[in-house]
Structure 1
């Protein structure tokens, strides 16, 4: 772990902030699954965040995906607005589109722009009628040649990493390793990739200005790839007053994985989702978040290994699609705002 910390400090151009959290590291190439399960369980009980390394996606391809993401965000705003987010949450999200922490952001949204890409389904597929399923929105090929192919490949490869992580989570919860591989879970998941760009705004929590407001993710797990710029902070105890925030050190080529609210419900709060936010320090920052949820019709109810007479289920069962639709509606701007603006 000491060598890992040194490597993190050396690879970052910016000096490390004073309070930095160094996370447990899960090596997916390690044949010792018991060690991986132990490290993951400790991370989930401690802070809900951990690194995943040697995941099978080459460093060269990761670099290419970030380069292509940058090309999109460097387009003029008028060009980006041609692929504006639709009601299926596919496409471009402008700065201030999302408001994650209304209590502290004084009704000013996140100072970030993004681009949603989901599992591609043709319009005539019966499943495409459901929220979060259907065709993606893509920039024109002549504007960004090869962009779609790069993003689709990264989406596919990251889903395989997520499935590998989910198998370790299942073992950590005393379930069969393939528990989350079922068709109604990660066999046909809602897997949403979001390219993110923070343009260099300086955050000021005292004024409610954030790159991304404090929140916990909605779903099962999130895999986050970042560049070298510090920005991500976590709060290990969301009930503490005052809250203590720590930066997470970027680790190039790794995924930072965190647990979502749905896994907290599923595990009956044995594994907790963790509050996190992004503070801008005046530098541009790029990241790619990959949100993994079960299928739209999956019933999320207390896992059999997570309840007992002394610890009965704390949450009622809920369909995944209904739960996610409400969470997205609560945090994103109404699309009519853009229709009025453009007209």
Structure 2
């Protein structure tokens, strides 16, 4: 069955009217769990630079990439390293990944980034660090608006320690894009919801991203989400769903192969590992009691990564 195209709400981050913008974000999170973010302040030139440098890295021979293979949550992941419960093949997902984060803070010291050598890719590290810093500014601004959308104080997520350490990570992704000769759907990323608070995605314009707005309905109905040049595609993660007692739902999504190589950059706004995620008072009452028990972010991520990443080490130090 062919999928239809989903017209997502467009949020303008440059709007001076924070309350109206917060209300638009609330409606988008209630209806879709996904939206486009425009005028966010990260230039198209910077996004294209990161995508270009990402392509340079993934073009390296496999043995050179494996020197930077992940041993924890940062580094290179080869094809089929990630496998979700919904994977359509026993091999796992057809994609390569490279994950990095901040060099600052406790996490930056415990899990240092694995950078390609300057001789190999001289412009790589400066481009990636600049992108990280710029998108973090966007993420902090967006989270303040999400707090307002939930009828909370603007600095709520800072006050509960969600941003105490620089836990967010950037994941570079390459999808080979081959089609299954049998005609069956081939997934670069199988159906899943993201684990953290919020994800910001930039793509090279090649289609493939699909969402399923009702993850409890069988069979799943998939809709295409086209890219908009210069815009981030933003979606709610599982921990935000837990915070909001299911009010803001983490939306099932996947990337299907379209016969063309595809590059994207996902920024996962993950909370500090020691942050305890528990139902917000504004999202529960007598008729709608808390659906999820409180959980420490680190414990939640440990459980989820253990289920999905073949190369995930259980010896994490936090």
**Please, what TM-score do these two structures have when normalized by structure 2?**
0.93
2:23 is matched with 38
| Unaligned residue ranges in structure 1 (runs of 5+) | 1-16, 337-343
Q: Given the alignment, which residue of 80, 83, 90 partners 1:99?
A: 83
Structure 1 pair 42/228, CA: closer, same or farther in 2 (3 Å)?
same
CA distance in 1, matches of 2:267, 2:254: 16
Structure 1 pair 129/222, CA: closer, same or farther in 2 (3 Å)?
closer
Q: Secondary structure at the match of 1:190?
A: coil
Q: Do residues 57 (structure 1) and 38 (structure 2) align?
A: no
Higher percent of residues as helix: 1
Alignment map for 1:165-184 (pairs within 5 Å) = 165-182=142-159, 184=161
Q: Do residues 268 (structure 1) and 268 (structure 2) align?
A: no
Superposed CA offset, 1:301-335 (max 9, x none) = 11121111111111111100111111111101146
Q: Do residues 73 (structure 1) and 50 (structure 2) align?
A: no
CA distance in 2, matches of 1:188, 1:224: 22
Q: Given the alignment, which residue of 297, 300, 324 partners 2:277?
A: 300
Counterpart contact for 1:108–1:209, Cα < 8 Å: no
Counterpart contact for 2:101–2:108, Cα < 8 Å: no
Superposed CA offset, 1:165-213 (max 9, x none) = 1111111110011111237212424101000001121258985731100
Counterpart contact for 1:106–1:208, Cα < 8 Å: no
CA distance in 2, matches of 1:212, 1:144: 27
1:252 is matched with 229
CA distance in 2, matches of 1:172, 1:205: 46
CA distance in 1, matches of 2:181, 2:206: 17
| Unaligned residue ranges in structure 2 (runs of 5+) | 314-318
Count of paired positions: 312
Structure 1 pair 21/294, CA: closer, same or farther in 2 (3 Å)?
same
1:78 Cα deviation after fit: 1.1
Counterpart contact for 2:107–2:165, Cα < 8 Å: no
1:12 is matched with none
Q: Secondary structure at the match of 1:185?
A: coil
